[in-house]
Structure 1
Amino acid sequence: MARDNIYANMPMTEAAPQPKGNPPKTSVPSQHRAQGIVTAVLLLLGLALATSLLAVTLLYLRAQSKLQTVEEAVQKLQVSLQPVNASDASAKGSDSLQLLDEAQAGVRLLKAQLGNVRAAYGEIQIRLDNVSAAQAAVQGRCCDVLKTGFPGRWRFYGGNLYYFSQGKKSWDEAEQFCVSWNSHLTSVSSQAEQEFLSSENQGEAHWIGLTDRETEGSWRWADGTEYRADASRRFWAENEPNNHDPKNDGGEDCVHTDPRFRNLWNDYKCTEPFRWICKEAHG
Protein backbone atom coordinates (compact mmCIF):
# COMPACT_ATOMS: atom_id res chain seq x y z
CA MET A 1 0.00 0.00 0.00
CA ALA A 2 1.34 3.47 -0.82
CA ARG A 3 2.32 5.59 2.17
CA ASP A 4 -0.12 8.34 1.18
CA ASN A 5 -2.98 5.96 1.96
CA ILE A 6 -2.12 6.29 5.65
CA TYR A 7 -3.74 9.70 5.50
CA ALA A 8 -6.78 8.68 3.46
CA ASN A 9 -7.84 5.42 5.06
CA MET A 10 -7.24 5.38 8.79
CA PRO A 11 -8.45 1.84 9.76
CA MET A 12 -6.25 0.08 7.17
CA THR A 13 -2.89 -1.54 7.92
CA GLU A 14 0.14 0.78 7.96
CA ALA A 15 2.11 1.01 4.73
CA ALA A 16 5.50 -0.66 4.40
CA PRO A 17 8.42 1.61 5.35
CA GLN A 18 10.00 3.66 2.60
CA PRO A 19 13.67 4.66 2.49
CA LYS A 20 14.46 7.43 4.93
CA GLY A 21 14.92 10.79 3.28
CA ASN A 22 12.02 10.48 0.81
CA PRO A 23 8.90 11.29 2.90
CA PRO A 24 5.86 12.61 1.01
CA LYS A 25 5.76 16.37 0.82
CA THR A 26 2.34 16.36 2.43
CA SER A 27 3.28 14.23 5.47
CA VAL A 28 2.08 15.50 8.82
CA PRO A 29 5.53 15.18 10.43
CA SER A 30 6.99 17.44 7.71
CA GLN A 31 4.22 19.98 8.19
CA HIS A 32 4.73 19.80 11.92
CA ARG A 33 8.48 20.33 11.57
CA ALA A 34 7.80 23.48 9.53
CA GLN A 35 5.38 24.74 12.14
CA GLY A 36 7.90 23.76 14.81
CA ILE A 37 10.43 26.05 13.13
CA VAL A 38 7.89 28.88 13.16
CA THR A 39 7.22 28.23 16.83
CA ALA A 40 10.96 28.28 17.57
CA VAL A 41 11.32 31.61 15.75
CA LEU A 42 8.44 33.03 17.75
CA LEU A 43 10.01 31.81 20.98
CA LEU A 44 13.33 33.47 20.07
CA LEU A 45 11.51 36.69 19.21
CA GLY A 46 9.66 36.52 22.50
CA LEU A 47 12.94 36.00 24.34
CA ALA A 48 14.47 39.03 22.59
CA LEU A 49 11.47 41.17 23.48
CA ALA A 50 11.54 39.96 27.08
CA THR A 51 15.23 40.91 27.27
CA SER A 52 14.40 44.34 25.86
CA LEU A 53 11.62 44.69 28.37
CA LEU A 54 14.04 43.95 31.21
CA ALA A 55 16.54 46.49 29.85
CA VAL A 56 13.85 49.18 29.59
CA THR A 57 12.71 48.38 33.13
CA LEU A 58 16.24 48.84 34.47
CA LEU A 59 16.56 52.10 32.51
CA TYR A 60 13.29 53.31 33.97
CA LEU A 61 14.37 52.52 37.53
CA ARG A 62 17.70 54.29 37.05
CA ALA A 63 16.05 57.36 35.58
CA GLN A 64 13.52 57.43 38.40
CA SER A 65 16.33 57.23 40.98
CA LYS A 66 18.22 60.03 39.24
CA LEU A 67 15.09 62.18 39.12
CA GLN A 68 14.57 61.70 42.86
CA THR A 69 18.16 62.72 43.55
CA VAL A 70 17.86 65.86 41.41
CA GLU A 71 14.54 66.83 43.00
CA GLU A 72 16.09 66.54 46.48
CA ALA A 73 19.01 68.70 45.37
CA VAL A 74 16.61 71.33 43.98
CA GLN A 75 14.69 71.40 47.23
CA LYS A 76 17.90 71.93 49.20
CA LEU A 77 18.91 74.67 46.77
CA GLN A 78 15.55 76.37 47.16
CA VAL A 79 15.94 76.34 50.93
CA SER A 80 19.45 77.73 50.71
CA LEU A 81 18.23 80.52 48.45
CA GLN A 82 15.58 81.73 50.86
CA PRO A 83 16.74 85.22 51.94
CA VAL A 84 17.18 85.87 55.66
CA ASN A 85 16.96 89.63 55.08
CA ALA A 86 17.16 92.13 52.25
CA SER A 87 20.95 92.40 52.29
CA ASP A 88 21.29 88.60 52.19
CA ALA A 89 18.99 88.36 49.17
CA SER A 90 21.08 90.95 47.34
CA ALA A 91 24.27 89.02 48.13
CA LYS A 92 23.00 85.77 46.69
CA GLY A 93 22.28 87.62 43.50
CA SER A 94 21.02 86.57 40.14
CA ASP A 95 23.64 83.81 39.64
CA SER A 96 22.05 81.63 42.28
CA LEU A 97 18.60 82.18 40.82
CA GLN A 98 19.90 81.14 37.40
CA LEU A 99 21.32 77.96 38.95
CA LEU A 100 17.91 77.19 40.40
CA ASP A 101 16.25 77.66 37.02
CA GLU A 102 18.74 75.29 35.40
CA ALA A 103 18.12 72.65 38.06
CA GLN A 104 14.37 72.92 37.58
CA ALA A 105 14.86 72.57 33.82
CA GLY A 106 16.87 69.42 34.46
CA VAL A 107 14.00 68.01 36.50
CA ARG A 108 11.57 68.70 33.67
CA LEU A 109 13.91 66.98 31.19
CA LEU A 110 14.22 63.88 33.38
CA LYS A 111 10.45 63.67 33.73
CA ALA A 112 10.12 63.82 29.94
CA GLN A 113 12.67 61.02 29.58
CA LEU A 114 10.76 58.92 32.10
CA GLY A 115 7.64 59.42 30.03
CA ASN A 116 9.48 58.12 26.97
CA VAL A 117 10.70 55.09 28.90
CA ARG A 118 7.14 54.34 30.05
CA ALA A 119 5.94 54.53 26.43
CA ALA A 120 8.72 52.17 25.26
CA TYR A 121 7.88 49.77 28.08
CA GLY A 122 4.25 49.67 27.03
CA GLU A 123 5.13 49.13 23.36
CA ILE A 124 7.45 46.20 24.13
CA GLN A 125 4.81 44.64 26.38
CA ILE A 126 2.26 44.83 23.55
CA ARG A 127 4.71 43.18 21.13
CA LEU A 128 5.44 40.46 23.67
CA ASP A 129 1.71 39.78 24.02
CA ASN A 130 1.40 39.59 20.22
CA VAL A 131 4.21 37.04 20.04
CA SER A 132 2.51 34.90 22.69
CA ALA A 133 -0.75 35.06 20.77
CA ALA A 134 1.01 34.09 17.52
CA GLN A 135 2.70 31.15 19.22
CA ALA A 136 -0.63 29.92 20.59
CA ALA A 137 -2.16 30.22 17.10
CA VAL A 138 0.64 28.13 15.55
CA GLN A 139 0.21 25.42 18.17
CA GLY A 140 -3.53 25.47 17.63
CA ARG A 141 -3.16 25.04 13.87
CA CYS A 142 -0.72 22.19 14.48
CA CYS A 143 -3.24 20.38 16.65
CA ASP A 144 -5.96 20.97 14.04
CA VAL A 145 -3.79 19.31 11.38
CA LEU A 146 -3.28 16.29 13.61
CA LYS A 147 -7.00 15.90 14.34
CA THR A 148 -8.05 16.39 10.71
CA GLY A 149 -5.38 14.36 8.95
CA PHE A 150 -4.84 11.45 11.33
CA PRO A 151 -7.76 10.86 13.70
CA GLY A 152 -6.68 8.29 16.26
CA ARG A 153 -3.13 8.07 14.86
CA TRP A 154 -0.83 11.02 15.56
CA ARG A 155 -0.75 12.76 18.92
CA PHE A 156 1.16 15.87 20.01
CA TYR A 157 2.43 15.94 23.59
CA GLY A 158 5.23 17.70 25.48
CA GLY A 159 6.77 19.15 22.32
CA ASN A 160 6.99 15.70 20.64
CA LEU A 161 4.93 13.92 18.01
CA TYR A 162 3.73 10.36 18.72
CA TYR A 163 2.29 7.78 16.32
CA PHE A 164 0.01 5.04 17.68
CA SER A 165 -0.35 2.23 15.15
CA GLN A 166 -3.52 0.30 14.37
CA GLY A 167 -1.80 -2.70 12.79
CA LYS A 168 0.72 -5.05 14.38
CA LYS A 169 4.35 -5.76 13.55
CA SER A 170 7.42 -7.34 15.10
CA TRP A 171 9.73 -5.02 17.05
CA ASP A 172 12.20 -4.73 14.13
CA GLU A 173 9.46 -4.07 11.56
CA ALA A 174 7.91 -1.46 13.85
CA GLU A 175 11.26 0.29 14.31
CA GLN A 176 11.80 0.27 10.53
CA PHE A 177 8.40 1.87 10.05
CA CYS A 178 9.25 4.60 12.58
CA VAL A 179 12.63 5.26 10.96
CA SER A 180 10.90 5.68 7.58
CA TRP A 181 8.99 8.56 9.20
CA ASN A 182 12.13 10.17 10.65
CA SER A 183 11.38 8.85 14.14
CA HIS A 184 12.02 5.84 16.38
CA LEU A 185 10.06 3.55 18.64
CA THR A 186 9.27 5.74 21.62
CA SER A 187 11.50 6.24 24.61
CA VAL A 188 9.98 7.08 28.02
CA SER A 189 11.75 9.66 30.17
CA SER A 190 9.23 10.61 32.86
CA GLN A 191 6.15 9.54 34.78
CA ALA A 192 4.11 12.13 32.87
CA GLU A 193 5.17 10.67 29.51
CA GLN A 194 4.40 7.14 30.70
CA GLU A 195 0.92 8.24 31.78
CA PHE A 196 0.33 9.96 28.43
CA LEU A 197 1.27 6.81 26.49
CA SER A 198 -0.95 4.72 28.76
CA SER A 199 -3.91 7.02 28.18
CA GLU A 200 -3.62 6.65 24.39
CA ASN A 201 -3.05 2.91 23.97
CA GLN A 202 -6.74 1.92 23.66
CA GLY A 203 -6.23 -1.14 25.87
CA GLU A 204 -3.68 -2.70 23.51
CA ALA A 205 -0.08 -3.77 24.06
CA HIS A 206 2.40 -1.55 22.18
CA TRP A 207 6.06 -1.97 21.38
CA ILE A 208 8.31 0.76 22.78
CA GLY A 209 11.93 1.39 21.84
CA LEU A 210 13.65 -0.49 24.68
CA THR A 211 15.83 -3.54 23.97
CA ASP A 212 18.77 -5.52 25.41
CA ARG A 213 19.50 -7.66 22.34
CA GLU A 214 23.13 -6.53 22.12
CA THR A 215 23.96 -7.44 25.73
CA GLU A 216 21.53 -9.27 28.00
CA GLY A 217 20.47 -7.00 30.85
CA SER A 218 22.02 -3.89 29.27
CA TRP A 219 18.97 -1.93 28.14
CA ARG A 220 19.10 0.85 25.58
CA TRP A 221 16.56 3.07 23.83
CA ALA A 222 16.33 2.91 20.03
CA ASP A 223 16.38 6.72 19.74
CA GLY A 224 19.62 7.05 21.71
CA THR A 225 18.02 8.36 24.90
CA GLU A 226 19.99 7.32 27.98
CA TYR A 227 18.35 4.46 29.85
CA ARG A 228 18.27 5.20 33.57
CA ALA A 229 17.70 2.00 35.52
CA ASP A 230 16.79 3.61 38.85
CA ALA A 231 14.29 6.06 37.36
CA SER A 232 12.75 3.37 35.11
CA ARG A 233 12.32 0.70 37.78
CA ARG A 234 8.80 1.93 38.60
CA PHE A 235 7.69 1.46 34.97
CA TRP A 236 8.34 -2.30 34.89
CA ALA A 237 5.59 -4.76 35.75
CA GLU A 238 6.16 -6.93 38.82
CA ASN A 239 9.01 -9.46 38.39
CA GLU A 240 9.94 -7.94 35.03
CA PRO A 241 12.16 -8.02 33.06
CA ASN A 242 12.69 -11.78 33.43
CA ASN A 243 13.99 -12.94 30.00
CA HIS A 244 11.58 -15.89 30.18
CA ASP A 245 12.83 -19.28 28.89
CA PRO A 246 15.91 -18.11 26.93
CA LYS A 247 17.01 -21.66 26.01
CA ASN A 248 13.79 -22.92 24.44
CA ASP A 249 12.17 -19.68 23.35
CA GLY A 250 15.14 -17.49 22.43
CA GLY A 251 14.67 -15.17 25.36
CA GLU A 252 12.88 -11.86 25.66
CA ASP A 253 14.89 -8.89 24.42
CA CYS A 254 12.28 -6.28 23.44
CA VAL A 255 9.79 -4.35 25.57
CA HIS A 256 6.10 -3.61 25.18
CA THR A 257 3.50 -1.96 27.39
CA ASP A 258 1.17 -4.51 28.96
CA PRO A 259 -2.46 -3.37 29.51
CA ARG A 260 -2.99 -6.33 31.85
CA PHE A 261 -0.64 -4.64 34.32
CA ARG A 262 -1.65 -0.98 34.10
CA ASN A 263 0.41 -0.56 30.91
CA LEU A 264 3.65 -1.22 32.75
CA TRP A 265 6.57 -2.70 30.80
CA ASN A 266 7.16 -6.35 29.98
CA ASP A 267 10.06 -7.88 28.07
CA TYR A 268 8.96 -10.23 25.30
CA LYS A 269 10.09 -12.02 22.14
CA CYS A 270 11.04 -9.41 19.53
CA THR A 271 9.35 -11.42 16.76
CA GLU A 272 5.89 -11.25 18.37
CA PRO A 273 3.50 -8.87 16.51
CA PHE A 274 2.20 -5.98 18.58
CA ARG A 275 1.00 -2.47 17.92
CA TRP A 276 3.71 0.12 18.34
CA ILE A 277 4.38 3.77 19.21
CA CYS A 278 6.73 6.01 17.22
CA LYS A 279 8.14 9.21 18.70
CA GLU A 280 9.44 12.13 16.70
CA ALA A 281 11.28 14.36 19.16
CA HIS A 282 11.05 18.13 18.74
CA GLY A 283 12.53 19.13 22.09
Structure 2
Amino acid sequence: MARDDIYENMLMSEVAPPPKGNTSKTLTPWQYRTRGIVTAVLVLLMLALATSLLAVTLLYFRGQRKLQAVEEAVQKLRVSLQPNKTSAKSAKESDALQLLDEAQAGVRMLRDQLGNASAAYREIQTRLDRVTAVRATGPDPCGDVLTKLSKGWKFYSGNLYYFSQGSKSWEEAEQFCVSEDSHLTSISSQAEQDFLFTETKEANHWIGLTDQGTEGTWRWVDGTEFREEANSGDWESSQPDNWHQGVGGREDCVEIRRSKWNDANCTLPTRWICKQARGSTGL
Protein backbone atom coordinates (compact mmCIF):
# COMPACT_ATOMS: atom_id res chain seq x y z
CA MET A 1 0.00 0.00 0.00
CA ALA A 2 1.26 3.50 -0.79
CA ARG A 3 2.61 5.39 2.20
CA ASP A 4 0.26 8.14 3.43
CA ASP A 5 2.65 9.82 5.83
CA ILE A 6 6.08 11.42 5.45
CA TYR A 7 8.51 11.62 8.33
CA GLU A 8 10.25 14.96 8.43
CA ASN A 9 13.04 16.16 10.68
CA MET A 10 13.47 12.64 12.09
CA LEU A 11 16.06 12.06 14.77
CA MET A 12 18.62 9.65 13.35
CA SER A 13 20.59 9.19 16.54
CA GLU A 14 19.66 5.52 17.07
CA VAL A 15 22.72 3.51 16.19
CA ALA A 16 23.73 0.07 17.27
CA PRO A 17 25.79 0.32 20.48
CA PRO A 18 29.38 -0.92 20.51
CA PRO A 19 29.96 -4.61 21.35
CA LYS A 20 29.19 -5.36 24.96
CA GLY A 21 32.71 -6.62 25.51
CA ASN A 22 33.99 -3.07 25.10
CA THR A 23 31.71 -1.47 27.67
CA SER A 24 33.09 -0.22 30.93
CA LYS A 25 32.41 -2.20 34.07
CA THR A 26 32.58 0.90 36.29
CA LEU A 27 29.32 1.44 38.15
CA THR A 28 27.92 4.91 38.71
CA PRO A 29 26.49 5.96 42.10
CA TRP A 30 23.01 5.76 40.54
CA GLN A 31 23.64 2.13 39.54
CA TYR A 32 24.84 1.28 43.05
CA ARG A 33 21.70 2.84 44.55
CA THR A 34 19.34 1.11 42.11
CA ARG A 35 21.01 -2.27 42.65
CA GLY A 36 20.64 -1.83 46.40
CA ILE A 37 16.96 -1.01 45.99
CA VAL A 38 16.38 -4.00 43.69
CA THR A 39 18.16 -6.33 46.12
CA ALA A 40 16.02 -5.08 49.02
CA VAL A 41 12.82 -5.51 47.01
CA LEU A 42 13.78 -9.05 46.04
CA VAL A 43 14.55 -9.97 49.66
CA LEU A 44 11.21 -8.54 50.86
CA LEU A 45 9.38 -10.39 48.08
CA MET A 46 11.09 -13.65 49.04
CA LEU A 47 10.10 -13.14 52.69
CA ALA A 48 6.48 -12.41 51.74
CA LEU A 49 6.26 -15.48 49.52
CA ALA A 50 7.91 -17.68 52.14
CA THR A 51 5.41 -16.45 54.77
CA SER A 52 2.49 -17.14 52.42
CA LEU A 53 3.90 -20.58 51.68
CA LEU A 54 4.12 -21.41 55.38
CA ALA A 55 0.56 -20.19 56.03
CA VAL A 56 -0.88 -22.23 53.16
CA THR A 57 1.07 -25.29 54.33
CA LEU A 58 -0.31 -25.03 57.87
CA LEU A 59 -3.86 -24.55 56.60
CA TYR A 60 -3.53 -27.50 54.28
CA PHE A 61 -2.35 -29.96 56.92
CA ARG A 62 -4.88 -28.69 59.47
CA GLY A 63 -7.66 -29.17 56.95
CA GLN A 64 -6.31 -32.58 56.01
CA ARG A 65 -6.50 -33.74 59.64
CA LYS A 66 -10.06 -32.42 60.03
CA LEU A 67 -11.12 -34.09 56.80
CA GLN A 68 -9.76 -37.44 57.92
CA ALA A 69 -11.54 -37.19 61.29
CA VAL A 70 -14.86 -36.25 59.66
CA GLU A 71 -14.61 -39.06 57.11
CA GLU A 72 -13.97 -41.61 59.86
CA ALA A 73 -16.92 -40.36 61.94
CA VAL A 74 -19.27 -40.39 58.95
CA GLN A 75 -18.26 -43.92 58.04
CA LYS A 76 -18.84 -45.18 61.59
CA LEU A 77 -22.29 -43.60 61.72
CA ARG A 78 -23.24 -45.05 58.36
CA VAL A 79 -22.27 -48.55 59.47
CA SER A 80 -24.15 -48.25 62.77
CA LEU A 81 -27.30 -47.01 61.05
CA GLN A 82 -27.51 -49.68 58.39
CA PRO A 83 -30.76 -51.68 59.01
CA ASN A 84 -30.70 -55.41 59.73
CA LYS A 85 -31.79 -57.74 56.96
CA THR A 86 -34.67 -58.98 59.15
CA SER A 87 -36.05 -55.56 60.11
CA ALA A 88 -37.66 -52.87 58.03
CA LYS A 89 -35.93 -49.53 57.70
CA SER A 90 -37.65 -46.94 59.90
CA ALA A 91 -38.35 -43.35 58.84
CA LYS A 92 -35.91 -42.14 61.48
CA GLU A 93 -33.14 -44.28 60.06
CA SER A 94 -33.92 -43.03 56.54
CA ASP A 95 -33.64 -39.42 57.71
CA ALA A 96 -30.35 -40.18 59.43
CA LEU A 97 -28.94 -41.77 56.28
CA GLN A 98 -30.01 -38.74 54.25
CA LEU A 99 -28.19 -36.49 56.68
CA LEU A 100 -25.13 -38.69 56.30
CA ASP A 101 -25.31 -38.33 52.52
CA GLU A 102 -25.36 -34.58 52.95
CA ALA A 103 -22.41 -34.81 55.33
CA GLN A 104 -20.47 -36.81 52.79
CA ALA A 105 -21.24 -34.18 50.17
CA GLY A 106 -19.75 -31.65 52.55
CA VAL A 107 -16.69 -33.86 52.93
CA ARG A 108 -16.26 -33.91 49.15
CA MET A 109 -16.49 -30.12 49.07
CA LEU A 110 -13.86 -29.88 51.80
CA ARG A 111 -11.65 -32.22 49.79
CA ASP A 112 -11.99 -29.92 46.77
CA GLN A 113 -11.04 -26.94 48.88
CA LEU A 114 -7.95 -28.75 50.07
CA GLY A 115 -7.12 -29.43 46.43
CA ASN A 116 -7.33 -25.71 45.75
CA ALA A 117 -5.05 -25.05 48.70
CA SER A 118 -2.58 -27.54 47.27
CA ALA A 119 -2.68 -25.74 43.91
CA ALA A 120 -2.09 -22.42 45.67
CA TYR A 121 0.86 -23.98 47.47
CA ARG A 122 2.41 -25.06 44.18
CA GLU A 123 1.86 -21.61 42.62
CA ILE A 124 3.48 -19.81 45.55
CA GLN A 125 6.36 -22.29 45.51
CA THR A 126 6.88 -21.65 41.78
CA ARG A 127 6.95 -17.89 42.30
CA LEU A 128 9.35 -18.24 45.21
CA ASP A 129 11.64 -20.40 43.09
CA ARG A 130 11.64 -17.74 40.36
CA VAL A 131 12.47 -14.93 42.77
CA THR A 132 15.17 -17.06 44.37
CA ALA A 133 16.66 -17.79 40.94
CA VAL A 134 16.74 -14.09 40.06
CA ARG A 135 18.31 -13.28 43.43
CA ALA A 136 20.91 -16.03 42.96
CA THR A 137 22.07 -14.52 39.66
CA GLY A 138 22.86 -11.27 41.42
CA PRO A 139 21.53 -7.80 40.63
CA ASP A 140 22.87 -7.68 37.06
CA PRO A 141 19.66 -8.82 35.25
CA CYS A 142 17.61 -6.24 37.12
CA GLY A 143 20.37 -3.71 36.57
CA ASP A 144 20.05 -4.28 32.81
CA VAL A 145 16.31 -3.66 33.03
CA LEU A 146 16.82 -0.44 34.98
CA THR A 147 19.45 0.68 32.48
CA LYS A 148 17.04 0.15 29.60
CA LEU A 149 14.28 2.01 31.42
CA SER A 150 16.65 4.91 31.95
CA LYS A 151 17.21 4.96 28.17
CA GLY A 152 13.52 5.31 27.42
CA TRP A 153 12.43 1.67 27.09
CA LYS A 154 8.90 0.98 28.32
CA PHE A 155 7.82 -1.88 30.58
CA TYR A 156 4.54 -3.65 29.84
CA SER A 157 3.24 -7.08 30.91
CA GLY A 158 6.70 -8.41 31.75
CA ASN A 159 8.32 -7.23 28.49
CA LEU A 160 10.49 -4.25 27.59
CA TYR A 161 9.73 -2.16 24.48
CA TYR A 162 11.73 0.48 22.62
CA PHE A 163 9.97 2.98 20.36
CA SER A 164 12.46 4.67 18.04
CA GLN A 165 12.53 8.34 17.12
CA GLY A 166 14.60 7.92 13.96
CA SER A 167 13.85 5.80 10.90
CA LYS A 168 15.58 2.77 9.38
CA SER A 169 14.88 0.05 6.89
CA TRP A 170 13.34 -3.11 8.32
CA GLU A 171 16.66 -4.98 8.25
CA GLU A 172 18.57 -2.11 9.86
CA ALA A 173 15.90 -1.80 12.54
CA GLU A 174 16.13 -5.52 13.34
CA GLN A 175 19.93 -5.24 13.55
CA PHE A 176 19.54 -2.43 16.07
CA CYS A 177 17.13 -4.51 18.15
CA VAL A 178 19.46 -7.53 18.10
CA SER A 179 22.30 -5.32 19.34
CA GLU A 180 20.06 -4.55 22.33
CA ASP A 181 19.33 -8.24 23.10
CA SER A 182 15.87 -7.96 21.55
CA HIS A 183 14.01 -8.25 18.24
CA LEU A 184 11.48 -6.24 16.31
CA THR A 185 8.33 -6.77 18.31
CA SER A 186 5.93 -9.65 17.94
CA ILE A 187 2.29 -9.17 18.95
CA SER A 188 0.53 -11.97 20.87
CA SER A 189 -2.70 -10.39 22.12
CA GLN A 190 -5.17 -7.58 21.53
CA ALA A 191 -4.04 -5.98 24.79
CA GLU A 192 -0.46 -5.86 23.50
CA GLN A 193 -1.68 -4.47 20.17
CA ASP A 194 -3.60 -1.71 21.99
CA PHE A 195 -0.53 -0.86 24.09
CA LEU A 196 1.67 -0.54 21.00
CA PHE A 197 -0.90 1.58 19.19
CA THR A 198 -1.18 3.94 22.16
CA GLU A 199 2.59 4.37 22.33
CA THR A 200 3.14 4.87 18.58
CA LYS A 201 0.61 7.73 18.48
CA GLU A 202 -0.53 6.67 14.99
CA ALA A 203 2.96 6.99 13.45
CA ASN A 204 4.03 4.03 11.31
CA HIS A 205 6.45 1.64 13.06
CA TRP A 206 8.09 -1.56 11.85
CA ILE A 207 7.13 -4.72 13.72
CA GLY A 208 8.82 -8.12 13.50
CA LEU A 209 6.47 -9.74 10.95
CA THR A 210 7.79 -10.69 7.50
CA ASP A 211 7.24 -13.11 4.64
CA GLN A 212 10.75 -12.75 3.25
CA GLY A 213 11.89 -16.10 1.85
CA THR A 214 8.44 -17.51 1.04
CA GLU A 215 5.81 -15.14 -0.26
CA GLY A 216 2.61 -15.32 1.80
CA THR A 217 4.17 -17.34 4.64
CA TRP A 218 4.32 -14.85 7.50
CA ARG A 219 6.57 -15.35 10.52
CA TRP A 220 7.62 -13.39 13.59
CA VAL A 221 11.35 -12.72 13.56
CA ASP A 222 11.65 -13.49 17.30
CA GLY A 223 10.33 -17.04 16.78
CA THR A 224 6.83 -16.43 18.16
CA GLU A 225 4.26 -18.60 16.39
CA PHE A 226 2.23 -16.67 13.81
CA ARG A 227 -1.44 -17.66 13.98
CA GLU A 228 -2.93 -16.71 10.65
CA GLU A 229 -6.58 -17.18 11.58
CA ALA A 230 -6.27 -15.47 14.96
CA ASN A 231 -4.48 -12.48 13.41
CA SER A 232 -6.66 -12.10 10.32
CA GLY A 233 -8.52 -9.16 11.87
CA ASP A 234 -5.30 -7.26 12.62
CA TRP A 235 -4.64 -6.34 8.98
CA GLU A 236 -5.90 -3.16 7.36
CA SER A 237 -8.64 -3.63 4.78
CA SER A 238 -7.33 -5.38 1.61
CA GLN A 239 -3.97 -6.03 3.27
CA PRO A 240 -1.52 -7.63 2.82
CA ASP A 241 -1.47 -6.85 -0.91
CA ASN A 242 2.26 -7.17 -1.79
CA TRP A 243 2.01 -3.96 -3.81
CA HIS A 244 4.99 -3.22 -6.10
CA GLN A 245 6.16 0.32 -5.38
CA GLY A 246 9.06 0.29 -7.81
CA VAL A 247 11.60 0.99 -5.04
CA GLY A 248 13.47 -2.28 -4.96
CA GLY A 249 10.97 -5.07 -4.55
CA ARG A 250 7.53 -5.79 -3.23
CA GLU A 251 6.11 -5.58 0.29
CA ASP A 252 7.56 -8.29 2.53
CA CYS A 253 7.72 -6.47 5.89
CA VAL A 254 4.96 -5.26 8.18
CA GLU A 255 4.36 -1.96 9.93
CA ILE A 256 1.73 -1.02 12.48
CA ARG A 257 -0.27 2.12 11.75
CA ARG A 258 -3.60 3.39 13.02
CA SER A 259 -3.87 0.22 15.19
CA LYS A 260 -3.75 -2.10 12.15
CA TRP A 261 -1.06 -3.86 10.11
CA ASN A 262 0.12 -2.98 6.61
CA ASP A 263 2.69 -4.76 4.48
CA ALA A 264 5.31 -2.36 3.12
CA ASN A 265 8.58 -2.36 1.22
CA CYS A 266 11.34 -3.44 3.60
CA THR A 267 13.77 -0.78 2.34
CA LEU A 268 11.62 2.22 3.25
CA PRO A 269 12.89 4.24 6.24
CA THR A 270 10.39 3.83 9.06
CA ARG A 271 10.35 4.04 12.83
CA TRP A 272 10.44 0.74 14.67
CA ILE A 273 9.61 -1.11 17.90
CA CYS A 274 12.03 -3.46 19.67
CA LYS A 275 10.79 -5.99 22.22
CA GLN A 276 12.82 -7.79 24.86
CA ALA A 277 10.52 -10.60 25.85
CA ARG A 278 9.74 -12.01 29.29
CA GLY A 279 12.59 -14.26 30.46
CA SER A 280 15.22 -12.32 28.54
CA THR A 281 14.64 -9.44 30.95
CA GLY A 282 15.51 -11.63 33.91
CA LEU A 283 12.03 -11.17 35.40
- Assess if the C-alpha contact under 8 Å between 2:149 and 2:155 holds in 1: no
Offset, 1:240:
0.4
Match of 1:273 among 265, 269, 273: 269
Matches within 5 A, 1:80-229: 145=146, 149-150=150-151, 153-229=152-228
Q: Say how many residue pairs are matched.
A: 202
- Assess if the C-alpha contact under 8 Å between 1:211 and 1:221 holds in 2: yes
Describe the SS at the equivalent of 1:254.
strand
Q: Normalization by structure 1: what TM-score? A: 0.57
Q: Normalization by structure 2: what TM-score? A: 0.57
- Unaligned 5+ segments in structure 2 are 1-10, 29-33, 72-124, 132-138
Matches within 5 A, 1:48-87: 49-62=51-64
CA–CA distance in structure 2, aligned partners of residues 147 and 22 of structure 1: 18
Offset, 1:18:
3.6
Give the number of the structure whose residues are more often helix, by fraction.
1
- Assess if the C-alpha contact under 8 Å between 2:12 and 2:167 holds in 1: no
CA–CA distance in structure 1, aligned partners of residues 220 and 35 of structure 2: 23
Describe the SS at the equivalent of 2:251.
coil
Offset, 1:243:
0.3
Change in 2 beyond 3 A, CA 1:33/1:15: farther
Change in 2 beyond 3 A, CA 1:237/1:204: same
Change in 2 beyond 3 A, CA 1:248/1:236: same
In terms of Rg, which structure is larger?
1
Hey, what does 2:31 align to over in structure 1?
none
CA–CA distance in structure 2, aligned partners of residues 188 and 179 of structure 1: 17
Aligned-residue RMSD, C-alpha: 4.6
What is the CA deviation profile of residues 103-145 of structure 1, one whole-angstrom value per residue up to 9, with x for unaligned ones?
Answer: xxxxxxxxxxxxxxxxxxxxxxxxx9xx9xx9xxx9xx99x95
What is the CA deviation profile of residues 37-60 of structure 1, one whole-angstrom value per residue up to 9, with x for unaligned ones?
Answer: 998887777665544332200222
CA–CA distance in structure 1, aligned partners of residues 159 and 37 of structure 2: 13
